[in-house]
Structure 1
Amino acid sequence: MRTAFSVDVVRAAERDLMARLPEGALMQRAAAGLAVACAEMLRRVYGSRVVLLVGSGDNGGDALYAGARLARRGAGVRAVLLSPERAHAGGLAALRAAGGRVSDDALADIARADLVVDGIVGIGGKGGLRPEAARLAEAARQAMVVSVDLPSGVDADSGEVPGEAVRADVTVTFGAYKPGLLIDPAREYAGALRLVDIGLDLPADAAVEALQYADVAALLPRPSAESDKYRRGVVGVVAGSSRYPGAAVLAVSGALRGGAGAVRYVGPAAGEVLARFPETLVHAGPPSKAGRVQSWVIGPGIGDDGDAVADVLDSDVPVLVDADGLRFLDAARVRDRAAPTLLTPHAGEAAALLGADRTDVEASRLRSVRELAERYGATALLKGSTTLVADPAGGPVRANPTGTGWLATAGSGDVLSGLTGSLLATGLSARDAASAGAYLHGLAARLAATPDGAPILATDVAGALGEAWRDVSRF
């Protein structure tokens, strides 16, 4: 599992470690890891041209010491000092001693560079880049760029990008991931991530975590020899309408592949559902009369059927609310439920639930998902380029690492709802069901779009869920 820690936590751990180490040792550890990553990007260090964009403070110091190591291996290293009077003195001396130089023509040196090292702003930076730094960052786009700890201009704690920022090919981060490296829009600027272990002693509770294959494999339900379809869990799906029968078909397609033993469909699209999936149990409704289930999924394509939403929320089992169902939510009623509730909005729906603008939700995804969970007393899965899961009890927000841009296609959210609701029916907590569902859904989309990447349909995603499940289960 990848875990990310706030700036305050990382700095406290750094202070504790520096108190036990010789002066400058921690920076040398960071610089050594950075230099190795730069050498791997260059492939051939001798004769290469490297430009360091150096701000004040330790971030610039890391870049200077790494540049000195590269210069000793034969690279031509030039340092662009954005604040010459505040450049790290020891790092600058080391660079000069190794044969590196201070640039006297930044744009010309950047234009010739094989690699640009972004050491402008560290993890404590707030706001976008200043104009001079932004001009250099724009010029650096023609070269490979490696950022020191995080791309300059992004917010380390929130993942927000409040102005101009560096776009890196690789970000080398020290000691721990920072939340902004795992969450869009900042994640988009970070490129590939490389973590350098510098020996920090970090607490158990992170700010953000991202599940990996082994973590998801440990969550997935596996039937035993004594299992039958009812013991494995029954998921109820309330979806579709005369106008949107396809939503019912897609939600059921995800539910059938989510580990539950049976799917009980309630709604007006029974004919369409049975024609595609004859194994589905169907009922005309209302949901409370359809038979026992271990979880409900309600919302995809239901139109204005608010009565069904109220009926499902009155149940004593976990409920997932998506799409049209979100329009009928009352925060107090959701908070008063004894059983867990899972909300799965996209940014526009989340904005409506929060009384905010969609652009604000997209720019502040971490804050928004936490606010949703707190306001509604429900687990919130905020869909988007980075799908986030927040629990009302607090704890680390989970950032989903799988997916592809091709997943932005009509009906894919309906498949996710069915899949996640099915995992709920197997007994997973709302947080785990949401996390595993998002992971499998994103992985299935990647598999459906391979090998070269191509447009996919929601039905392609549903069809690849079995392969995704098998792929994860190998761990």
Structure 2
Amino acid sequence: MRTAYDVETVRTAERALMARLPEGALMQRAAAGLAAACADLLGKVYGSRIALLVGSGDNGGDALYAGARLARRGAGVTALLLSPDRAHASGLAALRSAGGTVLGAEADASTGIVGRADLVVDGIVGIGGKGGLRPRAAQLATAAAASDGLTVAVDLPSGVDADTGTVHGEAVRADATVTFGAYKPGLLVDPARAHAGALRLIDIGLELPPGRAELTALQHDDVAALLPEPAGESDKYRRGVVGVVAGSARYPGAAVLAVAGALRGGAGAVRYVGPAAQAVLSRFPETLVSAGPPAGAGRVQAWVIGPGLGDDASGLADVLSADVPVLIDADGLRLADAKTVRARTAPTVMTPHAGEAAALLGVERGRVEAERLASVRELAERYAATVLLKGSTTLIAPPPGDGDSSPTRVNPTGTPWLATAGSGDVLSGLTGSLLAAGLAPADAAATGAYLHGLAARHAADGAPVSAQDVAAAIPAVWRDVRG
């Protein structure tokens, strides 16, 4: 599991470690890891051209010490100082001693050092930086983006917010980020994540409290441990039954896709309630169908409601009053009353995309996309529900005070190919099935998003993919994760 910590927690751990180490030892650990990562990216260090973009803090010191190590291996290293009078003095001395060149940042305008570099090291601003880059730094970031060389960020791309993942103004776009001690939330959440490139974590010996994590990202082993597996005495009812209320005369396909996801999510049976029964049965004859209402459909362990409902709210009261977990998606989000959702005693999972989240919060969509972490947490608090915010990075936030999982979770498996009609319906059915199989709300949402993203990657394989393709690929990625 990848675990991210906020800046204050990381700083506290750094101070505690520095108190036990000789002066400068922690920076040397970071610089050694940074230099090794840069060498790996270059492939050949000797004769390579490296430009260091150096700010005034310890972030710049890390870059200077790493540059000195690379210069001693035969690289031509030039440091461009944005604040010459405040640059890390010992780091400067080390670089000069190793044969590196030190210039003011303005020198790049006439020499084009950044544009000719094989590797640009972004040491402008550290994890404590707020707001976008200043004009001179922004010019260097633009030159790095336009060059043919690689850009490596030190700890975090300069100009992005480490705690929130927001990007206010200009920021460095790195091909890779070498981060120290722990992941920071901004490295895992868009829009900042798009600036970070490939991530490499360097262990510098920090002792971080597990209970203080801000963000977690499941990996294969974590998901494998959560996937439901039938026992020898299992039958379809013991494995869980998920009810699906979806579709309409206008959108029968939403019902078919939600059922497709549900059938592949680990529950023993799927009950469908709604006007698209014939469309569902023609595609999935194993489905148990009912004309409704949901309360008369038979026992279920979880409900999914919303995909393709249109304006038909006739089954909503039945579903929301049920004493089982309920997943609300699509039109259900628009039709459900916040007070009713908050009053539920059984768990609720909501799965909006950015536009739906904006409508629920009463804000512009752009704000949700720029502040994804804050938005998903605000929704979870407002509705007392687990919220899965779909998008370029899917986030899952449990309601405040929930014992299920306190850190917000981020899904690492998404792909832009998932931006296709009906893919969210498949995710709803899949996640609802995991709820019916007994997973806790945050676990079901995170596991569903993980499998859904992997299925899209598997089905697409670099080409356009349909929602049906995503659903069909779920068994293959389920086996891959379990394997």
Q: In 2, distance between residues paired with 1:329 and 1:377?
A: 13
Equivalences for 1:51-450 in 2 at 5 Å? 51-103=51-103, 105-107=107-109, 108-141=112-145, 142=147, 143-205=149-211, 206-394=213-401, 395-450=406-461
Q: In 1, distance between residues paired with 2:284 and 2:395?
A: 31
| Deviation for aligned residue 1:128 | 0.5
What secondary structure does 1:226 align onto? coil
> Which residue does 1:461 correspond to in 2?
470
Give, as a single letter, the amino acid of the residue that structure 2 aligns with 1:354. Answer: L
Q: In 2, distance between residues paired with 1:397 and 1:299?
A: 24
Q: In 1, distance between residues paired with 2:97 and 2:316?
A: 71
Please provide the CA RMSD for this pair: 0.7
Give, as a single letter, the amino acid of the residue that structure 1 aligns with 2:25. Answer: A
Q: In 1, distance between residues paired with 2:423 and 2:169?
A: 32
Give, as a single letter, the amino acid of the residue that structure 1 aligns with 2:411. Answer: N
Moved more, 323-332 or 223-232: 323-332
Give, as a single letter, the amino acid of the residue that structure 1 aligns with 2:189. Answer: I
Q: In 2, distance between residues paired with 1:243 and 1:312?
A: 22
Give, as a single letter, the amino acid of the residue that structure 1 aligns with 2:457. Answer: R
**Gapped runs of 5+ residues in structure 1?**
none
Residues 135-181 of structure 1 deviation map (CA, whole Å, 9 limit, x = unaligned): 10000011200000000000000000111100000100000000000
| Deviation for aligned residue 1:103 | 3.0
> Which residue does 1:43 correspond to in 2?
43
> Which residue does 2:31 correspond to in 1?
31
Give, as a single letter, the amino acid of the residue that structure 2 aligns with 1:156. Answer: A
Q: Is the 8 A contact 1:103 1:109 kept in 2?
A: no
Give, as a single letter, the amino acid of the residue that structure 1 aligns with 2:407. Answer: P
Q: In 1, distance between residues paired with 2:315 and 2:330?
A: 14
> Which residue does 2:479 correspond to in 1?
470
Give, as a single letter, the amino acid of the residue that structure 2 aligns with 1:220. Answer: L
| Deviation for aligned residue 1:17 | 0.2
Q: Is the 8 A contact 2:394 2:414 kept in 1?
A: no
Amino-acid identity (%): 76
| Deviation for aligned residue 1:335 | 1.4
Give, as a single letter, the amino acid of the residue that structure 2 aligns with 1:165. Answer: A
| Deviation for aligned residue 1:356 | 1.1
What secondary structure does 1:398 align onto? strand
Q: In 2, distance between residues paired with 1:28 and 1:274?
A: 65
Q: In 1, distance between residues paired with 2:79 and 2:24?
A: 20
Give, as a single letter, the amino acid of the residue that structure 1 aligns with 2:412. Answer: P
| Deviation for aligned residue 1:277 | 0.2
Q: Is the 8 A contact 2:123 2:154 kept in 1?
A: yes
Runs of 4+ in structure 1 deviating by more than 2 angstroms, as ranges, are none
Residues 213-257 of structure 1 deviation map (CA, whole Å, 9 limit, x = unaligned): 000000000000100000000000000000000000000000000
Q: In 2, distance between residues paired with 1:310 and 1:145?
A: 54
Q: In 2, distance between residues paired with 1:34 and 1:339?
A: 48
What secondary structure does 2:17 align onto? helix
| Deviation for aligned residue 1:311 | 1.6
Q: In 1, distance between residues paired with 2:382 and 2:233?
A: 41
| Deviation for aligned residue 1:283 | 0.1
| Deviation for aligned residue 1:52 | 0.1
Residues 274-317 of structure 1 deviation map (CA, whole Å, 9 limit, x = unaligned): 00000000000010111100000000000111221122101111
What secondary structure does 1:259 align onto? coil
**Gapped runs of 5+ residues in structure 2?**
none
What secondary structure does 2:166 align onto? coil
What secondary structure does 2:127 align onto? coil
TM-score when scaled to structure 1? 0.99
Q: In 2, distance between residues paired with 1:311 and 1:457?
A: 32
Give, as a single letter, the amino acid of the residue that structure 1 aligns with 2:481. Answer: V
Residues 303-342 of structure 1 deviation map (CA, whole Å, 9 limit, x = unaligned): 1112211221011110000000001222221111110000
What secondary structure does 2:314 align onto? helix
What secondary structure does 2:392 align onto? coil
What secondary structure does 1:249 align onto? helix
Residues 397-456 of structure 1 deviation map (CA, whole Å, 9 limit, x = unaligned): 000000211110000000000000000000111100000000000000000111xx0000
Give, as a single letter, the amino acid of the residue that structure 2 aligns with 1:106. Answer: D
| Deviation for aligned residue 1:393 | 3.2
